[in-house]
Structure 1
Amino acid sequence: MTKKVLIVIPCYNEQASLPTLLHMLNNSLPVENYQIDVLVINDCSTDETKLVAKNNNVNLIDLPVNLGIGGAVQSGLIYARDHKYDLAVQMDGDGQHPPAELKKLLECHQKTAANIVIGSRFISKQGFQSSVLRRMGISYFHWLNRVFTGKSIYDSTSGFRLFDANALALASKYYPDDYPEPESLVFFSRAGLTIKETAVNMVERQGGKSSIRSFGPLYYCIKVTIAMFFSAIRKI
């Protein structure tokens, strides 16, 4: 049976990297037994991101105001739920997630039936591993996630992740706003969803600027720690 999959690409000022990503996606598709569509979420970009998406004939949600990464991703997940997709895969618009690695997430889901599959840089330790400072932060979130959920998720900040129909239903109702990846794992775990990691290769950002750099790593860690704590104690 063919499954419908939606690739959700949240974008804010990604005109430099998005053309290559969409070109690579076109060359990587189709995947046997999957009907795969692409949706770009333009989060009120000030560059030509919207035009790039239109010129590549992909589905587009053009947000009238900037919602941030969490709001942009949730918009795509709601679209996937409402259009009856079996699965949705978040893939960053900066080109860090090679489309050729998509099959690994689909294969992991097929083998495990996990509600959420995370593409992890740190299982095989191949490909781009991020900076030393960021790896320290990711190790901290791995520890914090174990404290709150009892689960070991090594790449909790990865934005390369697959959602099944149950995860889509839950995320459509609530999804964290700012830097949602670590916090959402606490929320999903407490809701009883199964989460698996699979090894993928990532590359360096192909253009644009990271939002984390704008605020500073220490601010990011403090803010996400507080958010994870409140997700751990909030009612589901």
Structure 2
Amino acid sequence: MGVNVLTKKSLIIIPAFNEEASITDTVKSVEALKEFDYIVINDGSKDKTLEILEKNQFNYLDLPVNLGIGGAMQTGYKYALRNNYDYAIQLDADGQHNPKDLKKLIDEIETKNYDMVIGSRFVEKTAYKGSFIRRLGIFYFYKLIHVLTGNKVTDPTSGYRIVNNKIIKEFSEYYPQDYPEVEVVVDLAKKGYKINEIRVDMNARQGGVSSITPIKSIYYMIKVTYFSLVRKVF
């Protein structure tokens, strides 16, 4: 692990499933900052992702089977808890998240005492241009969260987020297995945790194929709505 020169210990968690096209550039961009520890969670990849991690001697944990984004991230949070990190940051392996925004996320959570800070494409105008269907889904979840919690989260599906050690403990004990981003926001808001958003820049996917197909998008909306309602009630 690299030496962390920031005030507190921060771990970047990089979940990776079949990301052979982008994982090298993603990890090297993080290593170039020389201020963060990181761990790649290889989520049972069937391509050359594991081979690349081994060849480059990157820091990684290898899951023997694919657990999905929830299982991969929970593995990372368990690792963060076990190694006494103050903050944990999710950074996607496909190159969409800009590592230059890492310091902004840490500064926001550290100086303003938030429990979670989400990197948003919409809290301020950015160059991001997603498909109409994707933007419609994001708006739907924005409205759902607002109705259920009173919180206004403009980019609820963003995976670029940082949490403090209280949330690391929460997530190490329970984390939704698939499409967790919206569900955990509702859960944390219900428990009274402080959540904020800041502007970040998102890149286009640098390789590979998104796992979210049109059919899965419909399942995503139904599943997340159901579990968010259940969490609100109970």
**With structure 2 as the length reference, what TM-score do the two structures score?**
0.93
Show the 5 A alignment for 1:128-147.
Answer: 128-147=128-147
Kept after mapping to 2: 8 A contact 1:22/1:56:
no
The secondary structure found in structure 2 opposite 1:88 is strand
Which residue of 2 is the match for residue 115 of structure 1? Answer: 115
Which residue of 2 is the match for residue 29 of structure 1? Answer: 34
Which residue of 1 is the match for residue 87 of structure 2? Answer: 87
The secondary structure found in structure 1 opposite 2:212 is helix
Distance 1:167 1:122 in 2: 24
* Number of residue equivalences: 229
Which residue of 1 is the match for residue 43 of structure 2? Answer: 43
Which residue of 2 is the match for residue 73 of structure 1? Answer: 73
The offset of 1:217, in angstroms, is 2.4
| TM-align CA RMSD | 1.4
**With structure 1 as the length reference, what TM-score do the two structures score?**
0.92
> Are 1:97 and 2:97 an aligned pair?
yes
- The C-alpha deviation readout for 1:128-179, integer Å capped at 9, x for no partner, is 2321211110010000001111101111000000010001111111111110
The secondary structure found in structure 1 opposite 2:213 is helix
The offset of 1:70, in angstroms, is 0.6
Deviates further, 222-231 or 204-213:
222-231
The secondary structure found in structure 2 opposite 1:208 is coil
> Are 1:225 and 2:225 an aligned pair?
yes
Corresponding residue to 2:17 among 12, 19, 25: 12
User: Which letter maps to 2:162?
Assistant: L
Gaps of 5+ in 1: 31-35
Distance 1:216 1:175 in 2: 20
Which residue of 2 is the match for residue 165 of structure 1? Answer: 165
Which residue of 1 is the match for residue 197 of structure 2? Answer: 197
Indicate how the Cα distance of structure 1 residues 233 and 58 shifts in structure 2: closer, same or farther if over 3 A, else same: farther
The offset of 1:214, in angstroms, is 6.6
Which residue of 1 is the match for residue 106 of structure 2? Answer: 106
Distance 1:198 1:22 in 2: 23
The secondary structure found in structure 1 opposite 2:95 is coil
Show the 5 A alignment for 1:57-68.
Answer: 57-68=57-68
The offset of 1:29, in angstroms, is 2.7
User: Which letter maps to 2:25?
Assistant: T
Distance 1:125 1:57 in 2: 38
- The C-alpha deviation readout for 1:57-89, integer Å capped at 9, x for no partner, is 332111112111011101101100111011110
The offset of 1:231, in angstroms, is 2.2
Distance 2:97 2:67 in 1: 22
Which residue of 1 is the match for residue 3 of structure 2? Answer: none
Kept after mapping to 2: 8 A contact 1:121/1:129:
no
The secondary structure found in structure 2 opposite 1:192 is coil
